């Protein structure tokens, strides 16, 4: 089973706090609320360059002790990155040395994706390959195919977020999660899928994402609420 830094995802699912503003203060608050890991949204955090980014991440690690995931999200996958693709991948590459995992989209250009994954693995860090379906929930076979393509691309953890239009969609996602033979993170977004952020770990999702206050994804639940539920379930 996958690990992110010192956190063993084989023992229990990890609660990830998304850090997108006031990074050091937000990271401290996330730890206090019960987060296990931090996702640093480089596309939302404003850094003057790689040196400031690294210094900030070092401060976060020193003050929280929590493992960190670097993400520089593509606009097509719900992100806000406005620079060119070479610069996006370069910034993620710079983050490898000061984080424990990198999240790269399956939709990323294959050459860029393969280069970043190779660097991440060479550094002994965890690779998350993510996919986002903001309009609908694909059929079960297609969701399984997306996860399989993510693993083929080099994922240690394959992440899939979908938008359900019915409760059946959420059931389909949970079935895909249960059937997965490797480490996956699955999320059904929006109000219909809100409960999956608490329930999907019961079916094998190794990560669930929460917020400190304002959500950065549809249906995201606050960290302390996730922690309370998962303490009962696990």
Q: What is the DSSP string of 69-115?
A: EEE---GGGT----S-HHHHHHHHHHHGGG-SEEEEETTS-HHHHHH
Mean pLDDT of the chain: 94
Q: How confident is the model at residue 216 (pLDDT cuts 50, 70, 90)?
A: low
Catalytic residue among 31, 112, 125, 132: 132
Instruction: State both tokens at 114.
Output: 């393969």
Does the annotation count 224 as an active-site position? no
What are the CA-CA distances from residue 71 to residues 105, 143, 220 (Å)?
9, 22, 17
Residue length of the chain: 234
Does the annotation count 214 as an active-site position? no
Report whether 168 contacts 138 (CB < 8 A): no
pLDDT (tens digit per residue) in 10-67: 999 999 999 999 999 999 999 999 999 999 999 899 888 899 999 999 999 999 999 9
Indicate if the pLDDT at residue 81 is higher than 90. Answer: no
Catalytic residue among 159, 195, 224, 227: 159
Tell me the domains of the chain and their CATH numbers. 9-233 (3.20.20.70)
d(CA 91, CA 70): 10
Q: What is the CA radius of gyration of the chain?
A: 16
Instruction: State both tokens at 5.
Output: 């830094």
């Amino acid at each position: 089973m996958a690990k992110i830094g010192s956190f063993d995802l084989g023992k229990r699912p990890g609660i990830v706090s998304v850090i997108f503003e006031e990074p050091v203060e937000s990271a401290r608050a996330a730890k206090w609320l019960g987060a296990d890991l931090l996702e640093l949204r480089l596309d939302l955090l404003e850094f003057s360059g790689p040196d400031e980014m690294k210094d900030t991440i070092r401060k976060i690690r020193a003050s929280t002790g929590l493992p960190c995931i670097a993400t520089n999200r593509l606009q097509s996958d719900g992100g806000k990155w406005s620079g060119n693709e070479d610069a996006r991948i370069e910034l993620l590459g710079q983050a490898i040395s000061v984080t424990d995992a990198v999240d790269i989209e399956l939709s990323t250009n294959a050459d860029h994706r393969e280069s970043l994954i190779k660097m991440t693995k060479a550094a002994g860090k965890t690779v998350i390959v993510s996919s986002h379906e903001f309009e609908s929930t694909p059929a079960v076979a297609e969701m399984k195919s997306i996860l399989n393509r993510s693993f083929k691309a080099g994922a240690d953890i394959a992440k899939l977020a979908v938008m359900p239009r019915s409760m059946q969609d959420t059931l389909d996602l949970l079935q895909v999660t249960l059937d997965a033979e490797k480490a996956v993170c699955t999320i059904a977004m929006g109000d219909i899928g809100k409960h999956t952020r608490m329930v999907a770990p019961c079916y094998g999702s190794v990560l669930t994402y929460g917020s400190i206050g304002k959500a950065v994804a549809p249906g995201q639940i606050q960290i302390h609420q996730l922690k309370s539920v998962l303490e009962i379930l696990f």
